[in-house]
Chains A and B, each alone.
Chain A
Amino acid sequence: MNTSIETARNFILAPAGLDEGDLEKVLNKLMGHGVDSADLYFQLSRHESWVLEDGIVKEGAHGIEQGVGVRAISGEKTGFAYSDEIVLPALSHAAEAARAIAHQGRAGRVQAWSSHSGHQLYVPLDPLGTLADKDKVSLLEAVDAEAKRMDPRVKQVMVSLAGEYEVIMVAAADGTLAADVRPLVRMNVRVIAEHNGRREQATAGGGGRVGYQYFIDEGRGLAYAREAVRQALINLEAVDAPAGTMAVVLGSGWPGILLHEAIGHGLEGDFNRKGTSAFSGRIGQRVASDQCTVVDDGTLSDRRGSLNVDDEGVATQCTTLIENGVLRGYMQDKHNARLMGMPFTGNGRRESYAHLPMPRMTNTYMLNGHHDPEEIIRSVDRGLYAANFGGGQVDITSGKFVFSASEAYLIENGKVTRPVRGATLIGNGPDVLTRVSMVGNDLQLDSGVGTCGKEGQSVPVGVGQPTLRVDELTVGGTSAG
């Protein structure tokens, strides 16, 4: 019994009076002359958010999104159309538009269904119903109170709580029939602290593919509040960040955004098929120091970046990207894998039914090395210890990437000393990891806050790493000293 497929049938197909026979008919129509693959992607999503500010929950929003995306592929050509009405006429209309991409050629065939559910990495629950609305409000109020209780310098606290229940179903001409029920929750705390006329902010938060109870269990919500306050107070003491190239020690966890930007995007199949990535054609080559092994793993339980099946119905996997410094593989969706003659890796993802899938990361992290984090700090005479970050960006062609520190300190004579203001770090993806001279033994994944944007599409992702030392990285501060 495949429960995800049952859920998708009941929630998506049944209300529209559709069954798998209808999907097969639409796919048959799609696979006319010259079309060599095609798929239908159904999505039903319900989401909500609650926002606390000035001590009161002043806003809440609820939304429903549903629709079906229809894709037809002919060689390297893709035709795409979608409809936010899941009914047979709209589906047929979208199919006609999508298949217009191919004008001639042999008609393809729809394979017999082979349904599978992929992994069972999270409970297929509806997070919106896991807590009564009044208890969501109480949770936000408790987190707010915790932040204010911490320190009188805390002047503003904003807390948000968001949940999503998403059911997706993929039916493809290659016989794929797969579904996934994907809960996702997220809490965020932003505080502004003020002292002697100076103001600083900080944020903290987390989440995953779980219910809201996650934020109550182990006092996680309250811990986010304390963490945001801690960072804001440290920033009140920060001096100007240094400017120039120096040794940088990156903390464990969210600083793994380094891997996401510096190498992750450059290893996505589409850029490599097109030869536009700084990593194109470099499989088997050394791109990192031999202490570095980096994976993209969509199979971690309850994680924000995990999926039972990707948005093309392929089970996710743990893909080794870099093994002991050597480039091993790319992340692929079906289309790019086929064109490159490589295996699928379960990385075909899309923001919604209204977007085309493409190769995307899931949870990207570096495995443990053997250095004690203290020892790594001690090894630096003068440099920067970057404990936490905001966002980042990469130019995959030139390989240049940036990521912005939100909590950082000077390292002087092997000791962490003064906190410094936020600064952007910039480097070159293909060689930054060759400068990693020490890898810690304290691997941590981020708390579940990541969202990755590519070609206008956002998807939830995870990152992680142990503490590591990069011998040379450019720090974009203002202080020449």
Chain B
Amino acid sequence: MTTDLASIQDPASRLAVLEQQVSDILAEAKAQGASAAEAGVSTDTGLSVTVRLGEVETVEHHRDKGVAVTVYFGKRKGTASTSDFSPRAIRETVAAACTIARYTAEDEYSGLADAALMATDIPDLDLCHPWALSADQAVALAMDAEAAGRVDHHITNSEGATVNTYQGGRVYGNSHGFIGGYAATRHGISCVLIAQQGDTDMQRDYWYTVARDAAALELPAEVGAHAARRALQRLGARRLSTRQVPVIFAAEVAGGLIGHFLGAIRGSSLYRNASFLVDHLSKQVFPGFVHIHEQPHLKNALGSAPFDEEGVSTRARDFVVDGVLTSYVLDSYSARKLGMQTTGNAGGVHNLTVDPGTLDLDGLITEMGNGLLVTELMGMGVNIVTGDYSRGASGFWVENGEIQYPVQEITIAGNLRDIFMRIQGIGRDVDTRGNIRTGSILIERMTVAGT
């Protein structure tokens, strides 16, 4: 019989069950002859409720679990995963990983992260704040959010308001003897509204709030009102003629720009020579005032983690100091390929932070004078190998430091190397809703293509 994890409400008891599961898997891997092994187990339960036009649309109950194991036979490896935690399924999953390891080639860089780097102290980062929310209560909150957004008569339609809450735990262990885990929660409220003017001008926009602790969420009515404001502001959008102009990436899209930077300094991009920032360590890649770092142990934050996906302890780290690239983003494999040491970033960065400047968004708009404020980007036109950047955009045209009118159906383009060096200002309007924390970013010049 398997233990019904979802029925165990107490996070600590749940973690204990997961830890036992990981130990069993590692023992099984050893029994099947693996020279080393690592395993991760996770479980999540959640509730997601969507209300549309004042009526309940969906009530979804989520219960997910999974186990993934990687076995090593010397320098060969194999991986397998399953959602079935029964002893028979675990045996078969380990066996499947071992079978794969018989056919993969020896890779001298393969293996666990060094034993000496394993996290020894696992700090409590205050990530678990269960929200005892019934479906009816969630419906009531979603109703509040949507209703607050449907006040203006130009808000003619809605894709709904959603309230969700998730609670989970994950445990990772490997044959160095490391085993660690933590429980975490994530709650959110979002609202998508449609504004209309005349027969043909229809615009959709949204807003959301997300936090580890429900007490830190924006109020439902604020979320709905904000979504409505954003949709209404887009009515009457025009196109622009093709031109070169300054561009502000509003905070909610600026994180994506920094995400491309992270993609370019990720170990897997670098050892493949698949990045425009190959060989840029210790070189100037941003203007001197830019400072980018990560804060893995920030209490209660969405990107926090006490150790990375290889059990390596995470720590505060600078990536860009005075505009100079000071560190790559490495896991143990890419680090070995590059002749370096892992930076504790297996699985990614943690609360990546771009230090804010002194101006708020209005201040940046004033500073820009004439140019484009981008509030939404579309498509995947970013090439990390070359740095070529070309994406669909919408936002607002700015003249003399004042927003003039909304714009849409244009593209913005440039090369990321130039875009980064042409940053003229970073706002203090930091968006903390994701793993990348940045304010709005003003770029001196990009190409806008339109009519």
Q: Is the CB of A94 within 8 A of B61?
A: yes
Q: Is the CB of A243 within 8 A of B447?
A: yes
Q: Is the CB of B386 within 8 A of A421?
A: yes
Residue A404 is within 8 A (CB to CB) of chain B in the complex: yes
Complex: how many Å from CA A61 to CA B82? 11
Across-interface contacts of B204 in A (CB, < 8 A):
276, 395-398
Q: Is the CB of B409 within 8 A of A356?
A: no
Q: Is the CB of B55 within 8 A of A61?
A: no
Interface stretch of the complex, out of A73-81, A162-170, A290-298, A373-381: A73-81
Query: Which residues of A41-56 have CB atoms within 8 Å of chain B's CB atoms?
Result: 48, 53-54, 56
Q: Is the CB of A402 within 8 A of B378?
A: yes
Query: Which residues of A394-431 have CB atoms within 8 Å of chain B's CB atoms?
Result: 394-398, 400-404, 421-424, 426-428
Complex: how many Å from CA A94 to CA B237? 46
Q: Is the CB of A64 within 8 A of B59?
A: no
Complex: how many Å from CA A92 to CA B80? 30
Q: Is the CB of B379 within 8 A of A392?
A: yes
Contact of A423 with B413 at beta-carbon distance under 8 Å, contacts A134-B103, A476-B449 already known:
yes
Nearest to A74 among chain B residues (CB) is: B56
Q: Is the CB of A84 within 8 A of B409?
A: no
In the assembled complex, how far is the CB of residue B115 from the closest CB belonging to chain A, in whole angstroms? Answer: 22
Residue A106 is within 8 A (CB to CB) of chain B in the complex: no
Residue A175 is within 8 A (CB to CB) of chain B in the complex: no
Across-interface contacts of B409 in A (CB, < 8 A):
400, 426-428, 474
Q: In the complex, which range does the number of interface residues on chain B fall in? A: 35 or more
Across-interface contacts of A76 in B (CB, < 8 A):
52, 55, 57
Query: Which residues of B66-96 have CB atoms within 8 Å of chain A's CB atoms?
Result: 77-84, 89, 93, 96
Contact of A243 with B59 at beta-carbon distance under 8 Å, contacts A64-B82, A192-B274, A398-B408 already known:
no
Nearest to A156 among chain B residues (CB) is: B272
Nearest to B92 among chain A residues (CB) is: A64
Residue A467 is within 8 A (CB to CB) of chain B in the complex: no
Across-interface contacts of B202 in A (CB, < 8 A):
276, 278, 397-398
Q: Is the CB of B58 within 8 A of A393?
A: no
Question: Which residue of B105, B394, B413 contacts A243 across the interface (Cβ within 8 Å)?
Answer: B413
Contact of A424 with B379 at beta-carbon distance under 8 Å, contacts A77-B57, A276-B194 already known:
yes
Across-interface contacts of A401 in B (CB, < 8 A):
378, 392
Q: Is the CB of A98 within 8 A of B61?
A: yes
Interface stretch of the complex, out of A112-120, A193-201, A315-323: A193-201
Question: Which residue of B79, B82, B381, B414 contacts A60 across the interface (Cβ within 8 Å)?
Answer: B79
Q: Is the CB of A84 within 8 A of B64?
A: yes
Residue B65 is within 8 A (CB to CB) of chain A in the complex: yes
Nearest to A202 among chain B residues (CB) is: B385
Nearest to A84 among chain B residues (CB) is: B83
Residue B390 is within 8 A (CB to CB) of chain A in the complex: yes
| Chain B residues touching A, majority SS | strand
Across-interface contacts of A478 in B (CB, < 8 A):
390, 413-415, 447
Across-interface contacts of A427 in B (CB, < 8 A):
409
Q: Residue-by-residue, is B440-451 near A (CB-CB < 8 Å gives 1, otherwise 0)?
A: 000000011111
Q: Is the CB of A62 within 8 A of B79?
A: yes
Across-interface contacts of B63 in A (CB, < 8 A):
81-84
| Chain A residues touching B, majority SS | strand
Complex: how many Å from CA A423 to CA B203? 25
Residue A33 is within 8 A (CB to CB) of chain B in the complex: no
Across-interface contacts of B366 in A (CB, < 8 A):
none
Residue B284 is within 8 A (CB to CB) of chain A in the complex: no
Complex: how many Å from CA A425 to CA B394? 14
Q: Residue-by-residue, is B384-397 near A (CB-CB < 8 Å gives 1, otherwise 0)?
A: 01101011101000
Query: Which residues of B390-412 have CB atoms within 8 Å of chain A's CB atoms?
Result: 390-392, 394, 408-412
Query: Which residues of A82-106 have CB atoms within 8 Å of chain B's CB atoms?
Result: 82-85, 94, 97-98, 100-101
Complex: how many Å from CA A415 to CA B433? 50
In the assembled complex, how far is the CB of residue A191 from the closest CB belonging to chain B, in whole angstroms? Answer: 10
Across-interface contacts of B392 in A (CB, < 8 A):
393, 400-402, 424, 426, 476
In the assembled complex, how far is the CB of residue A399 from the closest CB belonging to chain B, in whole angstroms? Answer: 8
Across-interface contacts of A58 in B (CB, < 8 A):
77, 104-105, 107, 110
In the assembled complex, how far is the CB of residue A336 from the closest CB belonging to chain B, in whole angstroms? Answer: 12
Residue A477 is within 8 A (CB to CB) of chain B in the complex: yes
Nearest to B274 among chain A residues (CB) is: A192
Question: Which residue of B83, B100, B449 contacts A61 across the interface (Cβ within 8 Å)?
Answer: B100
Residue A59 is within 8 A (CB to CB) of chain B in the complex: yes
Residue B273 is within 8 A (CB to CB) of chain A in the complex: yes
Residue B135 is within 8 A (CB to CB) of chain A in the complex: yes
Complex: how many Å from CA A424 to CA B381? 6
Query: Which residues of B154-171 have CB atoms within 8 Å of chain A's CB atoms?
Result: 157, 159
Q: Is the CB of A391 within 8 A of B379?
A: yes
Contact of A63 with B157 at beta-carbon distance under 8 Å, contacts A58-B104, A199-B386, A390-B380 already known:
no
Q: Is the CB of B80 within 8 A of A155?
A: no
In the complex, 12 of the A-B residue pairs with CB atoms within 8 angstroms, ordered by the A residue number, are A62-B79, A62-B93, A62-B97, A84-B65, A100-B59, A133-B102, A201-B385, A390-B381, A394-B378, A402-B379, A404-B390, A423-B411
Known: A137-B104, A478-B447. 16 other contacts (CB 8 A): A57-B103, A58-B104, A62-B78, A62-B97, A63-B81, A77-B57, A78-B59, A98-B61, A155-B273, A276-B159, A390-B381, A397-B202, A398-B408, A400-B394, A421-B386, A423-B411
Closest 6 CB pairs of A and B: A476-B411, A397-B204, A402-B392, A402-B379, A56-B105, A60-B100
